[in-house]
Amino acid sequence: MAPRATVSPSSPSPTTYHGPCYVLGDNIDTDQIIPAEHLTLVPSKPDEYRKLGSFALCGLPSTTYPVPFIHPGADVTRFPIVIAGANFGCGSSREHAPVALGAAGVRAVVAEYYARIFFRNSVATGEIYPLESEETGIWKECDTGDIVTVNLAENLLVNNTTGKEYRLKPIGDAGPVIEAGGIFAYARKTGMIASASTA
């Protein structure tokens, strides 16, 4: 699995993500995030995990979203942050949806709210932070390519290109689960289930 929340030259701290954003509208469903034909890929195999990532958001209609999320020929996206509208991740329960985004290099999604299964899957896998904005419609004020900063500790999204700031709802109890790397890692860390050494 790709490392998460690492400190890199573009990220001042593990709780901050910085880079160009990709902007989506309302009701982005799981068929757009990862079409069904790719679901036979098994994320626990590193080469298939990478391949899954390369297909992230390939279901988006190109007329509405002319900028490709992943450059043709590339495996990962140059957009670590996705900004979206209402009901992100609606549709199927496929866990491949947040996994494909995470494998592609997305660190956080900021949406108005999420479909519940997608939200659960994001937390259970620990692949991405599914953050919610306090205001609605922020996707209309951002353009794909704007340089943004997501600050988890301050619950803030800053669009450095427009200068606007947006308050985020705290990730709450889901935060430590995602930080640990998902529900299994969290459960082991907190002693809910036996760790690998004692299994």
Partner 1 sequence: MRRWSEMAWRRMESVWRKRGVCDKIEKGGGLRHGRERDFAQSKLETKQRFSRRRSKVWDREKIVIIPDHYIFTSDERANRNVDILRDFCTEQNIKYYYDIKDIGNFRANPDYKGVCHIALAQEDSHTCNAGAFGQFASGIGNTDAGFVMGTGKILLKVPPTMRFILDGEMPKYLLAKDLILQIIGEITVAGATYKSMEFVGSTVESLNMEERMTLCNMVVEAGGKNGVVPVDKTTLKYLEDKTTLTFEPVYSDDCARFIQEYKFDVSKLEPLVAKPHSPDNRALARECKDVKIDRVYIGSCTGGKTEDFLAAAKVFLASGKKVKVPTFLVPATQKVWMDIYGLPVPGSGGKTCSQIFEEAGCEVCVSTTNRNFPGRMGHKEGQVYLASPYTAAASALTGYVTDPREFLL
Task: With CA atoms as reference, report the closest residue to 85 among 115, 122, 121.
Answer: 115
The only residue of 120, 146, 150, 166 in contact with partner 1, by rule CB under 8 A: 120
Q: How far is the CB of 70 from partner 1 (least distance, A)?
A: 16
105 binds partner 1, rule: CB under 8 A:
no
Q: Rule CB under 8 A: which of 133-172 touch partner 1?
A: none
The only residue of 1, 2, 76, 117 in contact with partner 1, by rule CB under 8 A: 117
- CB 13 within 8 Å of CB 7: yes
Report helix angle 96-104 to 116-125, nearest 10. Answer: 50
What CA–CA distance (Å, rounded) separates 151 from 128? 14
What CA–CA distance (Å, rounded) separates 144 from 121? 25
62 binds partner 1, rule: CB under 8 A:
yes
Task: Please give the C-alpha separations between residue 116 and each of 89, 103, 151, in angstroms, as whole numbers.
Answer: 8, 21, 23
Residue showing tokens 């080469």: 47
95 binds partner 1, rule: CB under 8 A:
yes
Stretch that binds partner 1, among 67-75, 118-126, 131-139, 152-160 (CB under 8 A): 118-126
182 binds partner 1, rule: CB under 8 A:
yes
59 binds partner 1, rule: CB under 8 A:
yes
116 binds partner 1, rule: CB under 8 A:
yes
From residue 5 to residue 34, the character string flagging contacts with partner 1 as x (rule: CB under 8 A) and all else as - is ----------------------x-x-xx--
Q: Is 111 exposed, middle or buried (0-12, 13-18, 19+ CB in 10 A)?
A: buried
Please report the sign of the dihedral spanned by the C-alpha atoms of residue 147, residue 136, residue 122, residue 175.
positive
40 binds partner 1, rule: CB under 8 A:
yes
| Chain residues that interact with partner 1, rule: CB under 8 A | 27, 29, 31-32, 35-37, 39-44, 59-62, 86-87, 90-95, 113, 115-117, 120-121, 124-125, 173, 182-184, 187, 192-193, 196, 199
